[in-house]
Amino acid sequence: MSEGIPEGTIRIVIGLAALLVGWAIGFFDSKIRADKKIKQAEERAQVAVEHAKGEAERAAMIAHTAAKSAPPALPGRTLLRLWLDPTEHPALDIDGQVVDTGPISEPNRRRLLTLLNIMRPWIEGKIAAASVAQPRAPRPATTPVSPVPSDPAQGKPVPPVRTASPAPRDEKPAAPLSIVGQIDEILQARLAASPLAETGIRLQESPEGGVIVWVGLQKFMGVSEVTDPEVQAIIRAATSEWEKKYTPGL
């Protein structure tokens, strides 16, 4: 033990030195652990970034492949579409909207009949037949010329009288009637043999594809709005006759 330094002081110095050494060791150990955790966190973040980058690249590739394989957009506006749902059950779109067919509503039913009436000439082959063989215009008939007689008084030939042949008519086929026009045609035939012949009942198609009923000068936006039950009954009878004639079994 050194002379002049109390033993208690030496112990205090030794204790402080040991405390400082312990603190230093703990500090460096804590710093090492913190650096290790930071490094692990950085590695996990880097892995997450690489994974997200790979997912983004795969998604972009899938989108590019789908865009290349997708069918080209069709021109115009789709009016009618018949398709199968995932259960292989037939489904129907009218004017780009899915239609509930169980049962189909009356406005959608009328619209469907209108579209089917547009397609009916194609189904029957009328338009295709007309495009294959076009009728030729008839040639104008020629009038035979009789021998030129002579005038005995003057001794000169008399010019023959030619009859002008009628010019050929350029007749165009009448435009096909709409459904409302066809029903009105049936209605007029029924009205001719009914007591309502003088009431002036007629049907007209509205711009929206519906039906306008005229009873004289009265205008009704639909058959259900007609106030006279007899007028309603004869219009519905004409509609039923049209359905039996043009859409049997529908």
105-151 pLDDT tens trace:
888 888 888 887 777 777 766 654 344 444 445 555 555 545 555 55
pLDDT value at residue 58: 85
Q: Look up tokens 């018949």; give the residue.
A: 82
pLDDT in tens, 171-187: 555 556 778 888 888 88
- 5: confidence class by pLDDT, cuts 50, 70, 90: confident
Judge contact between 94 and 111, C-beta under 8 A. Answer: yes
Note the pLDDT of residue 250.
58
- What does the pLDDT read at residue 46? 87
Cβ neighbours of 120 (radius 10 Å): 13
Most confident of 4-18, 65-79, 234-248: 234-248
- Tell me the per-residue pLDDT of 220-231, one tens digit each, with 9 for 90 and over: 998 888 888 888
- What is the phi/psi pair of residue 28, to 5°? -65, -35
pLDDT at 34: 86
* Under 8 Å between Cβ of 184 and 202: yes
Computed over every residue of the chain, the mean pLDDT equals: 76
For residue 247, is pLDDT > 80?
A: no
Listed by start position, the domains of the chain span 1-70, 80-127, 178-250
CA distance 122 to 116: 10
Q: Is the pLDDT of residue 14 over 60?
A: yes
- Residue 192, H or E segment: helix 179-192
In the chain, % of residues over pLDDT 90: 0
DSSP-derived pairing of the beta strands 80-84 and 90-94: antiparallel
What confidence score (pLDDT) does residue 130 get? Answer: 42
- Cβ proximity of 205 and 181 under 8 Å: yes
Please compute the mean of the pLDDT values over residues 241-249 and round it to a whole number. Answer: 78
* 3-class DSSP state of 81: strand
pLDDT digits (tens, 9 = 90+) for 23-81: 888 888 888 888 888 988 888 888 888 888 888 888 888 887 776 766 666 677 788 88
The pLDDT, as a whole number, for residue 234 is: 87
Contact (Cβ atoms closer than 8 angstroms) between residue 189 and residue 197: no
In this prediction, residue 70 carries a pLDDT of 61
Number of Cβ within 10 Å of residue 149's Cβ equals 10
